[in-house]
């Protein structure tokens, strides 16, 4: 609802030599499997809409490794609406290996120089590489200061992606006579990084790395069919290509392709997994399976638990004058499941305009943005009690405008907000764009206290809702089907799984009552 921004999506594809053929190879042949990358990125568009790009490898091309990246959606970046231009791009960047990226700007500016993959040219082929990154380094500030303390370093962008590029370059430069062991290279980087970092890497030797950080914050799926290997942030991108055996890469492990051979290796010691619970309730494509857990079934379970809670609340009469309305699109699975349990209709009382460009929306004030994006259907909700199902409330500003619009334009009689998530009480430092306590809605009311009926009534009054109720904390892990210890739930319990996360949270709490600006992770930890 508050248009949370995510930390992007990554993908990789490779045609391995000397293996039996696969029906997944494009008709254009093994040298053009890169043509599949835009298609994969379309299935990851939900993870980033500001920029898209890919790097490809072809040993018989003058530019052995070459990168195309552009501002805009995948359709815009790859000119998919212009057949001739798209074909020209596919011909220019044809290769038997490719990595790709879709971007949201959790940090850094919205211009082409921040679009990924990042490519670093070098005369030595194993030092000429490109990579794309999904996540956020919590210790970005410390790493940046460490680089700048070395007299010859200069950073041109305000992003952790460039910091990773320099550290990676440094590790590769330590090897002079022969190409390094890539497992060893990334193992050394792991000892320096704190946070979420899934990486796809491709160099001018044709070596590829697909890597998932040791905590497993973000999902990463892999699959193979004969000579075709592919990886993506979500399973749906691989399933839609035709891969059958799609699996999650274990945290702390990497796929390495060198000399045409593929292997899986551990680059970091095992530690407690802390998968981001938000992936299931908000960010991921509802058709995906993440770490063997269905996104759709998790959201449906949340709706069933909302239904059980609603019966106990006994606030809203469950009769013919009550309808359930999801906030599109992520609230729909929960709303449908809740409606089924309660025997109420789940109706599309809010229609979302999916064709208004992001740049155009950004240029409007908040009320205009909401009206451009959502249209209340008067014919559906006028005179009705509406149970409005939302996946989460972060900052509340958009929700206030939406509720007012549903009552004025939609003429809803009552609106009762039900949230399929506990209150967001703490920032995220691992890739979701909510990094300060003072920007959050719930802490202003909770003030360190447990959630109560009175607090939720006060929140409802502030929003302009007739009532507001959150889902209990324990229902999140139960709905996903993973033990609480396997999930990162820092934003709803204040318990961070890494040292830097804990430090940044304390800094954010201290800054809550000050006028200091900027995101917490951009501020020096010593502040």
Instruction: Provide the annotated active-site residues.
Output: 8
Instruction: Say how many C-beta atoms besides its own lie within 10 A of residue 266's C-beta.
Output: 14
Number of helices and strands in the chain (H, E): 19, 23
User: What's the angle, vertex CA 521, arms to CA 518 and CA 522, rounded to 5?
Assistant: 50
How does strand 195-203 pair with strand 129-137? Answer: antiparallel
Structure tokens given for 30: 């093994």
User: How far lies 333's CA from each of 100, 287, 337, in Å?
Assistant: 29, 11, 6
- What DSSP assignment string belongs to 311-351? HHH--S--STTEEEEE-TTTTHHHHHHHHHHHT--B---EE
Q: Is the dihedral of CA 67, 70, 72, 75 positive or negative?
A: negative
Q: Omega before 472 cis (within 30°)?
A: no
Query: Are 343 and 318 within 8 A, CB to CB?
Result: yes
The token pair that represents 110 in the structure block: 């919205």
Handedness of CA 44, 45, 46, 49 (dihedral sign): positive
Cα–Cα distances in angstroms (integers) from residue 220 to residues 122, 169, 184, 202, 425, in the given order: 29, 24, 21, 17, 27
Q: Would you state the structure tokens that stand for residue 273, as one six-digit string? A: 């997994």
Q: What is the DSSP string of 211-266?
A: E--TT--S--EEEEETTEEEEESSHHHHHTTT-S--EEPPTTEEEEEETTEEEEEE
d(CA 391, CA 453) in angstroms, rounded, equals 19
SS3 524: coil
Q: Are 230 and 222 in contact (CB under 8 A)?
A: yes
Instruction: Please report, in angstroms and rounded to a whole number, the separation of the first and last CA atoms in the chain.
Output: 32
């Amino acid at each position: 609802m508050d248009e949370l921004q995510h930390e992007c999506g990554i993908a990789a594809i490779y045609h391995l030599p000397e293996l039996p053929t696969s029906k997944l190879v494009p008709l254009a042949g093994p040298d053009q499997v890169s043509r599949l990358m835009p298609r994969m990125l379309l299935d990851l568009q939900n993870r980033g809409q500001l920029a898209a790009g890919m790097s490809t490898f072809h040993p018989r091309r003058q530019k052995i490794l070459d990168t195309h990246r552009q501002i805009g959606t995948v359709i815009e970046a790859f000119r998919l609406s212009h057949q001739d231009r798209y074909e020209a791009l596919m011909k220019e960047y044809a290769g038997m290996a490719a990595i790709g990226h879709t971007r949201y700007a959790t940090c850094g500016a919205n211009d082409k120089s921040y679009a990924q993959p990042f490519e670093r040219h070098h005369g030595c082929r194993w030092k000429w590489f490109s990579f794309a990154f999904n996540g956020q380094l919590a210790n970005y500030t410390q790493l940046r200061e460490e680089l700048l303390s070395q007299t010859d370093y200069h950073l041109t962008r305000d992003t952790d992606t460039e910091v990773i590029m320099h550290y990676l370059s440094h590790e590769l430069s330590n090897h002079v006579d022969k190409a390094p062991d890539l497992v060893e290279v990334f193992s050394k980087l792991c000892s320096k990084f704190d946070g979420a970092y899934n990486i796809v890497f491709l160099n001018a030797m044709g070596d590829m790395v697909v890597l998932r950080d040791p905590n497993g914050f973000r999902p990463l799926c892999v699959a193979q069919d004969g000579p075709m290997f592919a990886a993506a942030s979500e399973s749906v991108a691989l399933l839609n290509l035709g891969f059958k055996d799609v699996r999650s890469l274990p945290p702390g492990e990497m796929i390495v392709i060198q000399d045409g051979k593929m292997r899986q290796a551990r680059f970091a010691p095992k530690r407690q997994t802390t998968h981001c619970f938000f992936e299931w309730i908000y960010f991921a494509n509802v058709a995906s399976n993440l770490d063997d857990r269905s996104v759709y079934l998790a959201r449906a379970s949340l709706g069933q638990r909302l239904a059980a809670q609603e019966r106990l609340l006994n606030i809203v009469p469950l009769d013919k004058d009550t309808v359930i309305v999801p906030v599109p699109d992520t609230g729909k699975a929960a709303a449908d499941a809740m409606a089924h349990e309660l025997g109420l209709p789940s109706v599309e009382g809010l229609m979302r305009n999916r064709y208004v460009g992001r740049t155009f929306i950004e240029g409007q004030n908040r009320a205009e943005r909401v009206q451009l994006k959502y249209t209340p259907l008067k014919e559906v909700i006028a005179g009705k009690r509406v149970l409005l199902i939302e996946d989460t409330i972060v900052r509340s500003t958009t929700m206030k405008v939406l509720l007012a619009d549903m009552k004025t334009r939609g003429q809803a009689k009552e609106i009762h907000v039900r949230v399929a998530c506990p209150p967001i009480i703490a920032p995220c430092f691992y890739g979701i764009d909510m990094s300060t306590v003072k920007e959050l809605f719930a802490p202003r009311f909770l003030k360190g206290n447990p959630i109560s009926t009175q607090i939720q009534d006060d929140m409802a009054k502030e929003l302009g809702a007739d009532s507001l109720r959150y889902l209990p904390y324990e229902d999140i892990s139960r709905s996903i089907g993973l033990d609480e210890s396997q999930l990162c739930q820092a934003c709803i319990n204040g318990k961070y799984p890494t040292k830097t996360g804990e430090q940044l949270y304390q800094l954010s709490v201290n800054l809550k009552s000050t006028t200091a600006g900027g995101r917490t992770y951009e501020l020096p930890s010593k502040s």
